[in-house]
């Protein structure tokens, strides 16, 4: 198994702006047939990030049909995807959360119902990411 380290820059115009968030990509032995797993190794309050830091987006889901019929097969992993596309997808996810199928239900609820509180937690995490 290969493990890569990545630094994700918070997208401009979002509460994540200015943050630098360390993450790991873990590539399985059967990569590129199977997708890597991505996990933030710092605090991340986001609807599409599990509380343990694992990222939950379509591009990182195993290829094929979604048994829950939420995602189309074309949105899921395929061997032609690149690490660059994964990282771009994660930055896009930070800017525009998918709250219809959240990994962190509490963050999704707060993002929908108490946006100012959500953004405060995110900004606090940005400061932590910078050691402030």
Backbone angles phi, psi at 54, to 5 degrees: -70, 135
Q: Is the pTM of this model over 0.75?
A: yes
Give exposure, 77-113, as e/b (b: 16+ Cβ within 10 Å).
beeebeeeebbebbeebbeebebeebbbeebbebbee
| pLDDT tens column, 16-69 | 999 999 999 999 999 999 999 999 999 999 999 999 999 999 899 877 666 665
Which has the closest alpha carbon to 49: 128, 130, 111? 111
CATH (domain of 41): 3.10.110.10
Which one of 25, 55, 56, 86 is the catalytic residue? 56
Within a domain: 48: yes
Within a domain: 91: no
Residue appearing with tokens 């790991």: 24
Within a domain: 33: yes
Indicate if 62 belongs to the active site.
Answer: no
Q: By residue range, what is the domain housing residue 61?
A: 2-65+74-84+97-129
Number of domains in the chain: 1
């Amino acid at each position: 198994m290969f493990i890569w380290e990545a630094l994700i820059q918070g997208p401009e115009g979002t509460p994540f702006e200015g943050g630098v968030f360390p993450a790991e990509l873990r590539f399985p032995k059967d990569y590129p047939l199977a997708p890597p797993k991505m996990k933030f190794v710092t605090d991340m309050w986001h609807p599409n990030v599990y509380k343990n830091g694992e990222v939950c987006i379509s591009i990182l889901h195993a290829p094929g049909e979604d048994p829950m019929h939420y995602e189309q097969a074309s949105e899921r992993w395929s061997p032609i995807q690149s690490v660059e596309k994964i990282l771009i997808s994660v930055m896009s996810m930070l800017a525009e959360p998918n709250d219809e199928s959240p990994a962190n239900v509490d963050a999704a609820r707060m993002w929908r119902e108490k946006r100012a509180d959500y953004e405060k937690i995110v900004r606090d995490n940005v400061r932590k990411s910078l050691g402030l």
